[in-house]
Structure 1
């Protein structure tokens, strides 16, 4: 896949690997996701502690990669904006996200498989892609 930037390729690889590992964790220990959700619902401090790195990661991605020129760069940029918004919501109004998180536990294995599949596609796109302009 051709993309605008080498940065897009490297970020796609990193985000893809992250998604693969999260998916493997969901398949190998689905109860751990339920336990994490229980911990988040019991501890507002933990929610704040989680919100900060999610927000910072999203902000960093948005600052270094807001490129909207080809499909892969759009996906990588959108992931940055989603992380930024998710982190902001965890810091400001976490209840709706926690409610969605609790509901999604009903589909842990599905989410895990989807995460592995999309992560693999993203990783391979980054690994095998070609940058037309280096930024």
Structure 2
């Protein structure tokens, strides 16, 4: 019997857990987030690594979720993956301008 894996549900669950715990971290140590952003603004190497990582995660989310109009969650996640890839290109090419919006 073949085992099917619901990539949409797993993507949504893992992204939701990551956002939840990132929020906990931000509430526990408010200044740490500002320091991280300042470090990315100053370091071209961190900008490149951050954009590459976001591009890879965005591509995985985008490719793992099919476009099925009747499945709203898969459409939202596919859109989120596409936006993540666009943001990765913006960070890679225009980090000096883009990081000021954070």
TM-score interval for Structure 1 and Structure 2 normalised by the shorter chain:
0.7 to 0.9
Instruction: Please list the CA deviations of residues 87-113 of structure 1 after superposition, one character each: whole Å capped at 9, or x if unmatched.
Output: 111111113320111xxxxxxxxxxxx
Q: 2:21 corresponds to which residue?
A: 21
Q: 2:38 corresponds to which residue?
A: 38
Q: Distance in 2 between matches of 1:89 and 1:55?
A: 10
Runs of 4+ in 1 over 4 A off after TM superposition: none
Give the unaligned 5+ runs of structure 1. Answer: 102-135
Q: Distance in 2 between matches of 1:22 and 1:96?
A: 24
Q: Distance in 2 between matches of 1:68 and 1:22?
A: 30
Shift of 1:66: 3.8
Q: TM-score, normalised on structure 1?
A: 0.65
Give the unaligned 5+ runs of structure 2. Answer: none
Q: TM-score, normalised on structure 2?
A: 0.84
RMSD: 1.6
Equivalenced residue count is 97
